[in-house]
Structure 1
């Protein structure tokens, strides 16, 4: 069915409609801020685009002259997103049906319904993969795409704990382009799917020269202007986990001059 949100039309299964049209707004602590930073002429990269909740409205925000690259590993999600792109008459979205990490190759992806919780398994023994329940998907470092995409102005990563590996595969771009970065932070997910402690992701961006802002769900955004950002983010994540049963924090990272 077709659902309207953020000034766009989304082709969705019925199971997704309630979340996207919730009275309080879908991810209202992230999406309005993200869209406020989209400017005409920008190149935006949406890694883990899912059904396009950021891709579609961002594509409207960056005209004229801007483009959005939507990277999504699930073929089912890609099919719906491709139809939504046509439904909205958007000619500035480039849909890339693949996963990003720190290597060039392939992985397995559990076959499931439409979801924003798709997780690729880097370590799977491909000879033992059940092809009735899994898809084999292409994987590459973002840096291999960089020359074709050009300078990136705004980057979002929502890939269920694979953010560290994806960042390592995009390290040249991060150093050269200095985009604003939105990402989800979960020590549990990073440990499980990137194989590193969560703080290693924060330390990576601190070493790259980024300033951190916590996008709280129930209170104002919190720029971290002084002190140790890693300690503050860890404390905020623990508070969110214990008080709200949450699994992750949303962060916005700004390159320092």
Structure 2
């Protein structure tokens, strides 16, 4: 039986989904990306809100939702059950990186005393000092978490096509993409990726530019919201600790649903 805390978090997510409240501004654009019966990978699934939206805009979608936090994974399972989307969404308790195994999940403790679960990230060792360089915190919780690569997971489960990847993993973007190079090269999936330049540099020895190079080498085009306007970009937006970016490959433009991405890709 899930704990009261798990049930409370799941109810909040369920209520927000049912009323379409407090979704991220990029969420409505999923309808312009997904149609038919796409295979989607939701990496850093948390309470499954993006997974839920995928099922609504593409009712035949097959979604694999990866969540490394033991607590959030329990919330995710309850949310999936309450929305009755278990036939579409498979929850996997794992982080995603460049090699399989085990890492530590570091969850900052906010100055309010609550756990900053949305800011959790993976690390090889417990960090010294503050949990994150971009947040004020009063400590941290550290727990082991299993790790998979997307290439390995798809090979093991016979997933021979991936249409869309949503990834929000607090600085581990490059590691996760390096473990998905076969999928990216084979399928050229649409990607909605939150990029964290500060965390990439401070905790992973990488950079936002290195993340962009993965997509540039494959010929992707990049888009980001500027207010309520979707604009094409070749660089990251300056001065932000994190931001979501869409990556669309020109060879898949003709198969996009009618909408803003299809129109922009044809321009």
TM-score (norm 2): 0.75
* Unaligned residue ranges in structure 2 (runs of 5+): 1-5, 110-114, 128-139, 252-267
Asked if 1:254 is matched to 2:248, the reply is yes
Asked if 1:71 is matched to 2:81, the reply is no
Q: How does 1:185-196 map to 2 (within 5 A)?
A: 185-196=195-206
Would the aligned equivalents of 1:46 and 1:68 in 2 still touch at CA under 8 Å? yes
2:150 is aligned, of 134, 138, 142, to 142
| Partner secondary structure for residue 63 of structure 1 | coil
**Residue equivalent to 1:169:** 179
1:97 is aligned, of 90, 93, 116, to 93
TM-score (norm 1): 0.78
**Residue equivalent to 2:82:** 87
Q: Give the number of the structure with larger relative contact order, counting CA–CA contacts within 8 Å between residues 6 or more apart.
A: 2
Asked if 1:43 is matched to 2:44, the reply is no
Give the aligned length: 223
- In the alignment, the residues of structure 2 paired with residue 16 and residue 110 of structure 1 have an alpha-carbon distance, to the nearest angstrom, of 24
| Partner secondary structure for residue 116 of structure 1 | helix
- In the alignment, the residues of structure 1 paired with residue 119 and residue 217 of structure 2 have an alpha-carbon distance, to the nearest angstrom, of 29
| 1:25, distance to aligned residue in structure 2 (A) | 4.6
**Residue equivalent to 2:117:** 115
| 1:208, distance to aligned residue in structure 2 (A) | 1.6
| Partner secondary structure for residue 145 of structure 2 | strand
| Partner secondary structure for residue 117 of structure 2 | coil
- In the alignment, the residues of structure 2 paired with residue 28 and residue 67 of structure 1 have an alpha-carbon distance, to the nearest angstrom, of 22
Asked if 1:212 is matched to 2:207, the reply is no
Would the aligned equivalents of 2:9 and 2:75 in 1 still touch at CA under 8 Å? no
| 1:250, distance to aligned residue in structure 2 (A) | 1.2
RMSD of aligned residue pairs (Cα, Å)? 2.8
* Unaligned residue ranges in structure 1 (runs of 5+): 1-9, 126-131, 242-246
